[in-house]
Amino acid sequence: MTVDTLTHPPAVDALLGAPPRSSGATPYPSAIRPRRLRRTAALRRMVRETELTPADFIYPIFVQHGRDVRQAIASMPGQYRYSVDRLPALARQVWELGVPAVIFFGIPAQKDPVGLENFADDGIVQQAVRAVKDAVPELVVITDVCLCEYTDHGHCGLLDPAGNILNDETLDILARVAVSHARAGADVVAPSGMMDGMVAAIRAALDGEGFSRVAIMSYAVKYASGYYGPFREAAEGAPRFGDRSSHQMDPANVREALREAALDVAEGADFLMVKPALAYLDVIARVHERFPQLPLAAYNVSGEYAMLKAAAANGWLDERRVVLETLTGIKRAGADIILTYHALEAAAWLNE
């Protein structure tokens, strides 16, 4: 069949300058009409390929010292820093919405070249873990394992006198942090510093201290991205000099992402992660295809969150519609789990 055999209403024929058509002209073949399955909401729901639910989310939480603290984060509207005493109520809200997990980022009382509070028994994250596991034992508690928020230089590892990151020496600190978090009750530890060998070092330390049950969610593929800006304000983790391009991945590379993921799989990671999400949907898809045996997380990061919040505040888009569309796109690309600051709002919308 050719286009010439299609029929149009007379008014359309007139606009197109088409000659009158005979009543016997062949219509578009009725056997091939994809729109049939889009006709009603029930039909669309029945054939939907990607289903987004609150169980897909992990909610990031910033925790700091003090009492009765709920401090707004200016660059992340709707997000706050919380003191530990505020966490039980927040944890119950998260659980009641159907979100199964949280991840903690701590702001220490003091910073130093090593980040001593990072692995102190009474460190801020250790206190947060104990408080939440006491309040909502079923909630999965994940902890970020890195140095940047705790060190006075703001980098992800120990430094030599010239300011270069000491990879192998840093592994010892990361192992101590992971064990400290596990001892406090963490279900999952999530090393985020992109140090070579971090998963193997943490796995050995956890197993050696009797925490073989604690899982590792590795930031296996973390790019040196400009989308982290609001997070660095929230967590007070910006580097005092230089940047993180020496250890985080070049945004131009995807084959390297597969290599990084393969190394972490071999070292014993229980989850893989790609961070950020939106500019790296192709990377999420590639990692998912190459390593289907492991759950894949994607981090819908602070800059991605802030962009949508700013556009919504200006009336430039429908926030609910675009947030759910964005999260669905991340899952459709291959993410099994999404770390997102939208988690509570999105879960509430999905539960309606």
- Exposed/middle/buried for residue 224 (C-beta within 10 Å: 0-12, 13-18, 19+): middle
Given the residues 111, 222, 309, 331, the one annotated as active site: 222
**Distance separating alpha carbons of residues 233 and 202, to the nearest angstrom:** 28
**Distance separating alpha carbons of residues 273 and 296, to the nearest angstrom:** 6
Q: Are 322 and 344 in contact (CB under 8 A)?
A: no
Q: Are 143 and 202 in contact (CB under 8 A)?
A: no
Strands 140-145 and 215-222: unpaired
- For 98: left if phi > 0, alpha if psi spans -120 to 50, otherwise beta; the answer is left
Q: Are 84 and 109 in contact (CB under 8 A)?
A: no
Omega before residue 191 within 30° of 0, cis? no
Given the residues 111, 133, 275, 309, the one annotated as active site: 275
**Distance separating alpha carbons of residues 4 and 168, to the nearest angstrom:** 70
Stretch (H or E) spanning 304: helix 302-313
Alpha carbon 42 to its chain centroid, in Å, reads 30
**Distance separating alpha carbons of residues 106 and 118, to the nearest angstrom:** 8
- Angstrom CA distances, 207 to 191, 194, 251, 294, stand at 16, 21, 34, 20
Alpha carbon 239 to its chain centroid, in Å, reads 21
Which residues, 6 or more positions from 6, have their beta carbon under 8 angstroms from its beta carbon?
A: 25, 26, 27, 28
Which residues, 6 or more positions from 329, have their beta carbon under 8 angstroms from its beta carbon?
A: 278, 281
Dig out the tokens for 215 from the structure. Answer: 């899982």
Residue 222 is a catalytic residue:
yes
Catalytic annotation, residues: 222, 275
